[in-house]
């Protein structure tokens, strides 16, 4: 097992390893003592892992209740959120009780936002079961639900009290969903860690999970410690996301988030090489690794279409937009780009 300590407005440990889910109750007891534990999960994950989590909690002396909602992004909305809050109130959860997010990023974001707001704040524990949730969404305290106007438009910064990542749970993911998470893993290599990038280039998709997840979480931990509220360095985690967002939106979400981010990283890398920000060798290496994971590096959408979506992105400010660009593997910069230059920049990377 690997442990990563996160020091933000709330300090907590991230435990990563095989066989951890049956120990959930023991680890949680160290933090919350005996209390009521509400497992929040989705309709795919709960049948697979709900009983193991509940048994572990009951054996450790917790009173366990559960709330299960239909799997998928379309459940990450105000309706499910209010149902969850009413469920907690109907079951008389108090501020000394605890929520457990058992699932991927959808479960984690929704549970975290409910925890941030129920009784003005109740403890919660993240138990990520997708690769994306393990390396990204379960750590750092960004919680949210979607509004009709867009994704993640209603949320709060609210850190969990513990993250417990049982790498065995990733075995039941479809290859497609696992691959989506790989785009985020590659992203950490490009952003911060050439040794991680080189390891991924060697191993491809069969990378050592515990080690690689822990490395990614350490990077996320460092950036959250330096910029918890996303005013500066944390923006770098958006590498590939602004253009990826455009790919996702123009495909009407038929192209998944991970594949869209992979395309976005490839486009900004090629564009950065064309302006001399990085070498062609760097952009070729990035594209090769993305492809070796079975992820795409090209899109049929035009620069104009991608720019339109980029301009509706939250990260825009006035006449400029912040793009994250590679200088070399393991080192990226936040480049404030004039909107007037954006289309030609994207064109250079297509």
Please give the residue ranges that form the binding site for ligand NAD (CB under 6 A): 42, 44-45, 48, 71-73, 76, 103-107, 109, 129-130, 132-133, 136-137, 140, 142, 151-152, 169, 172-173, 177, 180
Give the residue with the Cβ less far from ligand NAD, 177 or 225: 177
Radius of gyration (C-alpha) of the chain in whole angstroms: 20
Q: Give the residue with the Cβ less far from ligand NAD, 302 or 322.
A: 322
Q: Looking at beta carbons, which residue is closest to ligand NAD? A: 105
251 phi, psi to nearest 5 deg: -90, 5
- In the complex with ligand NAD, which residue's Cβ is closer, 198 or 210? 210
Nearer to ligand NAD, 198 or 230 (CB): 230
Distance from C-alpha of 62 to C-alpha of 60, rounded to nearest angstrom: 6
Smallest gap from Cβ 44 to ligand NAD, in A, equals 3
Q: Is 157 exposed, middle or buried (0-12, 13-18, 19+ CB in 10 A)?
A: middle
Q: How far is the CB of 142 from ligand NAD (least distance, A)?
A: 4
- Minimum CB distance to ligand NAD, residue 180 (Å): 6
- Contact between 49 and 83 under an 8 Å Cβ cutoff? The reply is no
What value, to the nearest 5°, has the Cα angle with vertex 102 and ends 99 and 104?
A: 125
H-helix or E-strand spanning residue 163: strand 162-166
Q: Which is nearer to ligand NAD, 304 or 312 (CB)?
A: 312
Minimum distance between the CB of residue 71 and ligand NAD, rounded to whole angstroms?
4
Q: Which helix or strand (DSSP H or E) is residue 218 part of?
A: helix 209-226
Q: How far is CA 304 from CA 57, 102, 261, 341, in A?
A: 52, 40, 18, 12
CB of 49 to ligand NAD, least distance (A): 7
In the complex, what is the shortest distance from the CB of residue 117 to ligand NAD, in angstroms, rounded to a whole number? 15
Could you give the strand order of the β-sheet that contains 11-17, starting from the edge strand earlier in sequence? 2-7, 11-17, 162-166, 123-128, 98-103, 36-42, 63-69
Smallest gap from residue 50 Cβ to ligand NAD (A):
12
Q: What is the number of H-type helices and E-type strands within the chain? A: 14, 12
DSSP state letter for 264 = H
Residue 74 or 203: the one with the smaller Cβ distance to ligand NAD is: 74
Residue 138 or 282: the one with the smaller Cβ distance to ligand NAD is 138
């Amino acid at each position: 097992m690997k442990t990563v300590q996160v020091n933000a407005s709330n300090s907590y440990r991230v435990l990563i390893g095989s066989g951890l889910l049956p120990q959930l109750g023991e680890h949680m007891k160290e933090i919350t003592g005996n209390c009521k534990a509400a497992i929040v999960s989705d309709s795919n994950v709960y049948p697979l892992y709900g009983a193991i989590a509940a048994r572990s909690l009951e054996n450790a002396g917790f009173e366990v209740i559960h709330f299960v909602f239909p799997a998928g992004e379309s459940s990450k909305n105000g309706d499910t959120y209010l149902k969850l809050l009413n469920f907690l109130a109907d079951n008389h959860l108090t501020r000394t009780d605890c929520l457990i997010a058992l699932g991927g990023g959808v479960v984690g974001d929704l549970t975290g936002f409910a925890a941030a707001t129920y009784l003005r704040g109740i403890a919660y524990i993240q138990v990520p079961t997708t690769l994306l949730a393990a390396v990204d969404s379960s750590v750092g305290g960004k919680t949210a639900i979607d509004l009709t106007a867009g994704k993640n438009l209603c949320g709060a910064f609210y850190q969990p009290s513990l993250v417990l990542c049982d790498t065995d749970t990733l075995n039941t993911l479809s290859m497609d969903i696992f691959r989506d998470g790989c785009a985020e893993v590659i992203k950490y290599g490009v952003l911060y860690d050439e040794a991680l990038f080189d390891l991924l280039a060697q191993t491809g998709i069969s990378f050592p999970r515990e080690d690689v997840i822990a490395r990614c979480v350490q990077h996320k931990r460092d950036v959250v410690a330096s910029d918890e509220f996303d005013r500066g360095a944390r923006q770098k985690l958006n590498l590939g996301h602004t253009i990826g967002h455009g790919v996702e939106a123009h495909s009407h979400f038929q192209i998944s988030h991970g594949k869209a981010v992979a395309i976005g990283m490839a486009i900004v890398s090629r564009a950065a090489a064309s302006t001399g920000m990085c070498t062609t060798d760097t952009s070729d290496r990035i594209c090769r690794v993305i492809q070796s994971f079975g992820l795409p590096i090209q899109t049929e959408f035009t620069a104009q279409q991608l720019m339109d979506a980029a301009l509706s992105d939250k990260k825009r400010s006035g006449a400029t937009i912040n793009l994250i660009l590679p200088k070399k593997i393991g080192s990226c910069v936040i480049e404030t780009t004039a909107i007037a230059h954006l289309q030609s920049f994207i064109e250079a990377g297509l």
